[in-house]
A and B are shown apart, each in its own frame.
Chain A
Amino acid sequence: MTDEWIIEVAGLHRAFGTQQALAGLDLQVSRGEVFGLLGPDGAGKTTLMQCLAAILDPSDGACRVLGFDTVRQAAEVTSRIGYMSQGFTLYDRLSVDENLVFAARIRGVPDSAFRERQQRLLEMAGLTRFGERRAGELSGGMRKKLSLCTNLIHEPPLLLLDEPSLGVDPLSRRELWRMLRAFREQGTTVVLTTPYMDEAAYCDRLAFLHQGRLLAVDSPAGLRSRAEGSVYRLQTDKTITAKERLDAASEVIGVQWLPGRLVFQLAADTQLPEHLRTALEGLGMLQPVSAELEHAFVQLIGGGGERRGAMPVLPVAGGEEQAAEPIAVADLSVRFGDFTAVDGVTVNVAAGEVIGWLGPNGAGKTTLIRTLCGLQRPSAGSARVAGQDIARAPLALKQRIGYMSQRFSLYPDLTVAENLAFFAGAYGLRGEERRSATAWAVGMTGLEGTGARWVGDLSGAQRQRLALACAVMHRPQVLFLDEPTSGVDPTSRQRFWELIQSLARGGMAVLVTTHYLEEASYCHRLGLMFQGRLIALGSPAELQGEVGIAAGEGMEAVFMAFMERERSPGEAAA
Chain B
Amino acid sequence: MNGRRIIAVVVKESREILRDPITVGVSLLMPLVMLFLFGYAISLDVRHAALGVWDGDATPASRELVEAFTGNEYFRLAAHYGSLHDLEQALQRSETDLVLVIPPGFAAELARGGRPAVQVLVDGTYSATALLVSGFARAIIAGYRQQGRPQLLRLETRVWYNPSLNSANYVVPGLYAVILLAFPPLLTALGIVREKETGTIQSIFASPLTAAEFITGKLIPYSLIAFLQMVMVIAVGYAWFGVPFEGSLPFLLAAGLIYVLCTVGIGLLVSTVTRTQLVAMLLALIVTLMPSFLFSGLLFPIFTMPEILQIYTNVFPGRYFVDISRGVALKGAGLEILGFEVALLALYTLTVFLLAVWRLKKKVA
Contacts and interface: CB of A to CB of B under 8 A. Distances in A.
Interface of A: 16, 50, 53-57, 74-75, 78-79, 81, 83-94, 98, 101-103, 105-108, 134, 150-151, 160
B363 A105 contact: no
B16 to A, nearest CB: 5
Contacts of A85: 199, 202-203, 206
B78 to A, nearest CB: 59
Contacts of B16: 91, 93-94
Nearest to A54: B206
A106 B363 contact: no
B344 interface: no
Contacts of A107: 207-208
Given A83-B202, A85-B199, A78 B12 contact: no
Nearest to B208: A79
Interface string B10-21: 011001100110
14 contacts: A56-B363, A83-B206, A85-B206, A87-B199, A89-B199, A89-B202, A91-B16, A94-B15, A94-B16, A94-B19, A105-B7, A106-B209, A107-B207, A151-B203
Contacts of B365: 16, 56
Nearest to B214: A106
A151 B2 CA distance: 20
B5 A108 contact: yes
Contact of B364 (A50, A92, A151): A50
Contacts of B7: 105
B112 interface: no
Nearest to A102: B12
Contact of B198 (A54, A81, A88, A151): A88
Interface string B182-200: 0000000000000000111
A90 B200 CA distance: 6
Contacts of A16: 365
A72 to B, nearest CB: 13
B149 interface: no
B203 A89 contact: yes
Given A79-B207, A93-B16, A102 B202 contact: no
B4 interface: yes
A150 B20 contact: no
Contact of A53 (B11, B206, B210): B206
A56 B363 CA distance: 5
B207 A106 contact: yes
Nearest to B20: A93
A88 B15 CA distance: 19
Interface of B: 2, 4-5, 7-9, 11-12, 15-16, 19-20, 198-200, 202-210, 362-365
Contacts of A98: 12, 15
A60 to B, nearest CB: 15
Most chain A C-beta atoms within 10 Å of own C-beta, residue among B7, B204, B206, B210: B206
A3 B276 CA distance: 42
Contact of A55 (B19, B206, B208, B209): B206
Q: Which 9 residue pairs across A and B have the least CB separation, nearest first?
A: A105-B8, A79-B208, A83-B206, A85-B202, A55-B205, A93-B19, A53-B206, A87-B199, A102-B12
A78 B20 contact: no
Given A55-B205, A78-B207, A83-B206, A89 B200 contact: yes
A160 B200 CA distance: 15
Contacts of A78: 205-208, 362
B336 to A, nearest CB: 44
Nearest to A89: B203
Contacts of B20: 93
Nearest to B199: A87
A53 B8 CA distance: 22
B214 to A, nearest CB: 9
Given A93-B15, A105-B7, A105-B8, A88 B199 contact: yes
B204 to A, nearest CB: 8
Contact of A102 (B11, B208, B364): B11
Contacts of A54: 206
Contacts of A108: 2, 4-5, 208
A312 B206 CA distance: 51
B8 A102 contact: yes
Most chain A C-beta atoms within 10 Å of own C-beta, residue among B9, B203, B363, B364: B203
A78 B361 CA distance: 13
A55 B361 CA distance: 9
Contacts of A91: 12, 16, 200
Contacts of A150: 203
B208 A106 contact: yes
A108 B7 CA distance: 12
A516 B221 CA distance: 44
B210 A75 contact: yes
Contacts of A90: 200
A55 B364 contact: yes
A46 to B, nearest CB: 9
B88 to A, nearest CB: 59
Given A93-B16, A94-B15, A102-B11, A83 B203 contact: yes
Contacts of A55: 202, 205-206, 362-364
Nearest to A79: B208
A90 B9 CA distance: 14
Contacts of B205: 53, 55, 78
Nearest to A71: B363
Given A78-B206, A84-B203, A93-B20, 18 more contacts: A54-B206, A55-B205, A55-B363, A78-B207, A78-B208, A83-B202, A83-B203, A85-B202, A87-B198, A88-B199, A89-B200, A90-B200, A91-B200, A94-B12, A98-B15, A102-B9, A106-B5, A106-B208
